[in-house]
């Protein structure tokens, strides 16, 4: 394996296929980046939801494990596209959505990045300021929060500009440091923690219990799903020769490992509910404030460190891939220029959303709706990989980025209406059935008796529609490679050659 370049060397690659000689990453590196991006306060915040929904501690554990395992299983296959094609997942989606249809993945990753980058900066910034106020008497006002947000944003943007190697270095430190600090927190709260915390439901027969349990599990599940559009950004540096099972195992275990921050959030939320209940008022929950209220004084410094380290880790994993992909959608931008543009846009959103428009409460709803739309896209990618037997034409995947036309994935004027239809219908139906009490309830959201079935409905519908359309309207045999299709059939449809768009215009 070739020697990796220094971390201070600015990455020049965009979404073109990474040459084999430069693929120096290992599955362990993928684990570090994916785990590091979730080993933060933002995940602890998600871990508090089972308690916020009224579950007992052990019921919360069950909901968390259910959501985490299912989400990790759904995410893991998305890791194999990077090594197979040497590019990110949005570009790989050209094979299933069409040369132009790949912009769906780019759009979803952009929205996800801005949403989760904002959540990360806000939650970590609030924890940092709160901890500093308790530790050193730092005033808690808009100016202080603005400095904290600005510090996070500038540091994250710097790391993303340098690129993948620098981000990997940051996450190597973040994984170990944040994990140690979370484990230290278990000792800090051990005296107050009571695993017999009963929750608010007298029994599972309560009509609101199962909606709350399923809702909590789906919130946990949304965390692994949020990485679906980004996983190829990091796995593309893994050599194609590495076992696909090892790559999938790294992605799967990276999410299972987040049981640490999830358990921290769950345990501390049960303490807050018992000792400082107003902080978990469903109408205006403040997990970070409650955590600081019940934490011993000596743990304020670790809180600040977790906030700083976690904010850096999550921010870089969210922002890096979006800058990378934006440069392919708009070729006038290099990767560095695109990263600076998206980073600046995100920073503006963070400040306007926090201080001018008060969007901090609604951003979680926005993120949930994005995940609801991303999940069907992930299903189509996974089933597409299965039906193609993992075979792709890397050159044809780059047609959009080179501003060309034709190739195996041109389909109908650059759109594969089979994949596009399955995704669009599934995403729209899922949004219509979304039920987030007090925030967003779709037109059909209450038909399931208060249970939010949007995510599982979107997943199942995408699978049924996509496979059904592939069978009823076969794709060209050329997209399946030498081994032919699996689970479906192919059509003897000619494939147009790859040509430059400029040449076509000149001939016209």
For all residues of the chain together, what is the average pLDDT?
87
d(CA 38, CA 388): 31
According to the model, what pLDDT value does residue 250 have? Answer: 97
According to the model, what pLDDT value does residue 64 have? Answer: 97
Beta-carbon count within 10 A of 336 CB: 18
Q: What sign has the CA pseudo-torsion 451, 457, 460, 464?
A: positive
CB 302 within 8 Å of CB 292: no
According to the model, what pLDDT value does residue 344 have? Answer: 86
Q: For 179-199, what is each residue's pLDDT tens digit?
A: 888 899 989 999 999 999 999
pLDDT of residue 1 exceeding 60: no
According to the model, what pLDDT value does residue 391 have? Answer: 95
- At 15, the pLDDT band (50, 70, 90 cuts) reads confident
Tell me the average pLDDT across 307-326: 75
- At 505, the pLDDT band (50, 70, 90 cuts) reads very low
Tell me the average pLDDT across 21-44: 88
Tell me the average pLDDT across 29-41: 88
SS (H, E, C) 291-312: HHHHCCHHHHHHHHHHHHHHHH
pLDDT of residue 75 exceeding 90: yes
According to the model, what pLDDT value does residue 11 have? Answer: 67
d(CA 22, CA 286): 45
pLDDT of residue 470 exceeding 60: yes
Lowest mean pLDDT, pick from 93-97, 266-270, 334-338, 484-488 = 334-338
Tell me the average pLDDT across 477-495: 92
pLDDT of residue 36 exceeding 60: yes
Tell me the average pLDDT across 240-244: 94
The residue ranking higher by pLDDT, 318 or 125, is 125
pLDDT of residue 279 exceeding 80: yes
Q: For 389-422, what is each residue's pLDDT tens digit?
A: 999 999 999 998 888 899 999 999 999 999 999 9
pLDDT of residue 215 exceeding 70: yes
| CA-to-CA separations, 289 to 139, 277, 280, 282, in angstroms, rounded | 15, 11, 10, 14
The residue ranking higher by pLDDT, 298 or 328, is 298
Helix 164-188 vs helix 259-275: angle between axes, to the nearest 10 degrees?
Answer: 40
Lowest mean pLDDT, pick from 50-64, 75-89, 322-336, 441-455 = 322-336
d(CA 400, CA 376): 23
pLDDT of residue 317 exceeding 80: no
d(CA 72, CA 392): 24
Q: For 438-451, what is each residue's pLDDT tens digit?
A: 678 889 988 887 78
Return the closest-CA partner of residue 30 out of 182, 263, 242.
242
Instruction: List, in sequence order, every residue forming a beta bridge with 415; answer none if it has no partner.
Output: 412
Lowest mean pLDDT, pick from 81-90, 104-113, 248-257 = 104-113
According to the model, what pLDDT value does residue 508 have? Answer: 45
According to the model, what pLDDT value does residue 8 have? Answer: 62
pLDDT of residue 506 exceeding 50: no
pLDDT of residue 489 exceeding 70: yes
């Amino acid at each position: 394996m070739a020697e990796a370049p220094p971390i201070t060397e600015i990455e020049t690659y965009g979404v073109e296929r990474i040459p084999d000689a430069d693929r120096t990453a290992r599955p362990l590196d993928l684990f570090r980046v994916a785990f590091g991006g979730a080993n933060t306060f933002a995940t602890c915040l998600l871990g508090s939801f089972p308690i916020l929904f009224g579950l007992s501690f052990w019921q919360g554990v069950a909901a968390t494990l259910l959501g985490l395992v299912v989400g990790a299983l759904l995410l893991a296959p998305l890791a194999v596209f990077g090594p197979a094609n040497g590019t990110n997942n949005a570009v790989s989606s050209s094979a299933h959505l069409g040369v132009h249809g790949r912009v769906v993945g780019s759009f979803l990753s952009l929205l996800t990045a801005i949403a989760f980058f904002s959540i990360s900066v806000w939650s970590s910034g609030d924890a940092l300021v709160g901890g500093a106020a308790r530790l050193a008497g730092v005033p808690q006002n808009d100016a202080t929060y603005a400095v904290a947000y600005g510090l996070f944003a500038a540091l994250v943007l710097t790391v993303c500009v340098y690129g993948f190697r620098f981000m990997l270095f940051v996450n190597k430190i973040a994984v170990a440091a944040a994990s140690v600090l979370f484990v230290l927190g278990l000792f800090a709260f051990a005296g107050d923690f009571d695993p017999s915390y009963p929750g608010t439901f007298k029994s599972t027969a309560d009509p609101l219990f199962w909606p709350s349990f399923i809702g909590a599990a789906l919130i946990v599940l949304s965390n692994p799903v949020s990485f679906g559009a980004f996983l190829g950004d990091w796995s593309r540096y893994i050599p194609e020769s590495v076992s696909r099972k090892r790559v999938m195992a790294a992605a799967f275990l990276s999410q299972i490992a987040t049981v640490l921050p999830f358990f921290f959030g769950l345990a501390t939320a049960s303490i807050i509910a018992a000792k400082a209940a107003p902080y978990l008022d469903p109408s205006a929950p403040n997990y970070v404030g409650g955590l600081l209220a019940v934490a011993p004084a000596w743990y304020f410094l670790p809180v600040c460190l977790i906030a700083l380290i976690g904010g850096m880790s999550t921010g870089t994993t969210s922002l890096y891939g979006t800058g990378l992909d934006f440069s392919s959608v708009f070729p006038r931008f290099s990767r560095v220029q695109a990263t600076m543009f998206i980073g600046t846009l995100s920073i503006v959103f963070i400040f306007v959303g926090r201080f001018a428009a008060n969007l901090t409460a609604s951003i979680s709803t926005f993120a949930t709706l994005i995940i609801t739309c991303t999940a069907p896209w992930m299903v189509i990618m996974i089933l597409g990989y299965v039906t193609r037997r993992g075979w792709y034409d890397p050159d044809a995947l780059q047609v959009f980025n080179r501003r060309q036309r034709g190739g195996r994935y041109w389909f109908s004027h650059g759109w594969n209406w089979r994949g596009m239809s399955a995704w669009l219908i599934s995403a729209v139906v899922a949004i219509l059935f979304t039920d987030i009490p007090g925030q967003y309830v779709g037109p059909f959201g209450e038909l399931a008796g208060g249970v939010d079935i949007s995510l599982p409905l979107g997943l199942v519908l995408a699978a049924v529609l996509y496979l059904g359309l592939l069978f009823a309207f076969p794709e060209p045999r050329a997209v399946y490679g030498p081994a032919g299709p699996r689970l479906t059939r192919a059509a003897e449809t000619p494939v147009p050659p790859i040509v430059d768009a400029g040449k076509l215009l000149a001939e016209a």
